[in-house]
Structure 1
Amino acid sequence: MNSTDGCTTSSPSGSGLDSAVALFHSLSDATRLAIVRRLAGGEARVADLVAELGLAQSTVSAHVACLRDCALVVGRPQGRQVFYSLARPELLDLLAAAETLLAATGQAVALCPNYGTDSTSPQTVKKFS
């Protein structure tokens, strides 16, 4: 079990899937996806994200830290501020592929009893765009 700023992952021992599990777990939260979506449009400070997402600064900071620790976002210090941006353009390719897969499966993901949008589970699948 790995844990970094609230990003906890686990996979079967010796499966060799730890990195993939960590990547998909880092993107499995609606707030982190909203941050990634916003950063796809250009860099932003935590204060900008707080204003745009309507969440507490501590919440946004924790999610940005998770994404940063997973090497999905990077910070560019400028004076006393830090401007965050996506670290890798491949992330947008991954999310575009996810959109294609969601379109191809229709309602199958939304109706999933474990993670679908109608699930009572705290982790619900949200469309990226």
Structure 2
Amino acid sequence: MTRTYEFSVYAEGADLTAASTVEQLERAGYTHPAAAASVGIQALVFSRPAERLADAAESAAAEAECIAEVWIARNVRSGAVAVFDPVTMEPMDLDADPTPTDPTGAMPARPQRRIGRSQHIGSPLPLR
């Protein structure tokens, strides 16, 4: 069963708030309106349909890593993409099977929260 997973990944390298990087991300297919940089830590938020969170995370990482000098944080032991709850920034378990609250399989909506003094960048393009 396909579900829509919402998660964040930490990114290193290119400045995610620079217009040139935003343009490259958009050309690579990144269309979620939430990317942030705060105190030298950068994150991208993804909303991605997949059968498993691990599949969604790998797909998102591959998309982001198409950009020159963007690297996505991975678990040092397993090599899996490290994913975090986009609101709390707590680590998410790739093997967890969240129960959706609506029949479309979408994950429940969560309130947006800003962390510190973030700079948010966005895209005018709709999600795929």
TM-score surpassing 0.5? no
Higher relative contact order, chain-length normalized (CA < 8 Å, sep 6+): 2
Instruction: Tell me which structure has the larger Cα radius of gyration.
Output: 1
Specify which structure has the higher proportion of helix: 1
Specify which structure has the higher proportion of strand: 2
- TM-score (norm. length: structure 2): 0.30
- TM-score (norm. length: structure 1): 0.30
